[in-house]
Amino acid sequence: MDIRQERGLDMTLNLRELVEEIITNLDKYNLDDCLEDIGRNLNSFLGADRAFFFLHEANSNELTVAKVIGDDITMDERTRFRQGEGIVGWVAQKKEPFTFCNIQKDPDCFEKVGEKKDLFLPEVDEKTKSIIVLPLVAFEKFIGVVEIQNLRDPDFGEADMSRLQPLVNIAALAIPSRTTDESFAKLAEICVRFLEEKDPYTHGHSIRVMRYSMLIADKINLPTKEKGELRICGLLHDIGKVIVKDSLLRKKGRLTVSEYETVKMHPTIGSNITGKISKAFSQKILSHHERYDGKGYPEGLKGTEIPLISRIIAVADAFDAMTSARPYREKWPIEKAVEEIKRNSGTQFDPVLVESFLELSSDGLLDIVKV
């Protein structure tokens, strides 16, 4: 296996670790910490030496240096670039990535953007060998530019560019100064997708649960604010399973009593994780395995003691679990799963929500949720 293949494997593993780190440590993520972690991981993934983040200022239409990660850097953090000025400005203007390889061997490469090196690249010195520069864009809104430098061989390649894109997407969404409710929900979705990719049996589960939940919310005319909370809680309801051993989640046979008790800890773990983001999220994620008759866990809440958002997620979660393949059984047809939800109305599930769920089934809306 050559160094590029090794780099690709390491990047896949480290990317998942970074995603887990972001979602479990959102409480610490001010802008500086966020860019520090992402820049450090960019350098690690690519075997690079320096990472620069330039953020766009809408008022002046300039890019300013927000964070520099790496060794032996002398660039003044007050440095600014105008749109179209140099590599950074070119990428900002075109919203396209740019790669330079073998800078020391090909000094004329800077002519490709129509400027001289010493006029617009104060961060590039005689040690720099290759550069990748990419735009940071979230929801079609330009946020800034990230530049990664390599001072050693081998040069960056096209494969490096494609492997970078998921992390650059996360970087654009994770920058706290831009984190609206919508961008946080999108960040949560990206993180959940990465976490569930490791298991073909749960891949897409949380996103489908969120979408089924939103269908129920529309049917009962849930207010907009509560819909926003439901979307986040639906995405993150199983985040506590990050801590549960993969061997238990993938076990084909029946779980032992001890193993089942371990799996049952995931709402509490998820509540602890999301409590760093919002106490409201925390309680609703804690309660998504409570039952309407009071026989659920972890607190044995009953009826309307259970938050409405948790009751909605409980219906959506059970439906998706039944209609998805698991290591221990085949997936059920939609009709059979709907009947099971109906059978448990008033015991496991809120009967009002079940009625709305049955209407969704009659309307043919339950078979259109895709991931």
Whole-prediction pTM value? 0.58
pLDDT at 199: 58
Residue 192: CA atoms inside 13 Å, Cβ hemisphere, count?
27
pLDDT at 230: 93
pLDDT at 6: 44
3-state DSSP assignment of residue 364: coil
pLDDT at 96: 83
Which CATH fold topology does 3-178 show?
Beta-Lactamase (3.30.450)
Q: Residue 95 corresponds to which tokens in the numbers above?
A: 């919203």
CATH classification code of 181-362: 1.10.3210.10
Among residues 187, 232, 195, 196, which one has the least CA distance to residue 213?
A: 232
Ranges of each domain in the chain: 3-178, 181-362
Question: Token pair 């809440």 is at which residue?
Answer: 301
pLDDT at 60: 80
pLDDT at 10: 47
Which secondary-structure segment (H or E) carries 43?
helix 31-46
pLDDT at 285: 94
Q: Residue 251 corresponds to which tokens in the numbers above?
A: 């076990």
Give the Cβ contact number of residue 295 at 10 Å.
Answer: 11
Report how far Cα 205 is from the mean position of its chain's Cα atoms: 14
Nearest-angstrom CA–CA distance, 5 and 175:
30
- Ordered per-residue pLDDT tens for the chain, 371 residues: 344 444 443 444 455 565 556 555 554 556 777 778 778 877 877 778 888 888 888 778 888 888 888 866 655 555 677 777 777 888 888 888 877 766 556 656 555 544 544 434 544 566 777 788 888 876 567 888 888 888 776 566 666 666 676 667 666 666 654 444 555 666 666 667 666 665 555 668 888 999 999 999 999 999 988 998 898 899 889 888 766 655 555 666 677 777 777 778 889 988 887 776 678 889 999 999 999 999 999 999 999 999 999 999 999 999 999 998 776 678 899 999 999 999 999 999 999 999 999 999 998 888 766 54
Q: Is the dihedral of CA 129, 103, 57, 184 positive or negative?
A: negative
Identity of the amino acid at 136: L
Residue 100 bridge partners (DSSP)? 131
Alpha helices in 68-155 (DSSP H): 86-94, 117-120
Strands 62-70, 80-82: pairing is antiparallel
pLDDT at 109: 58
Residue 214 in contact with residue 230, Cβ under 8 Å? yes
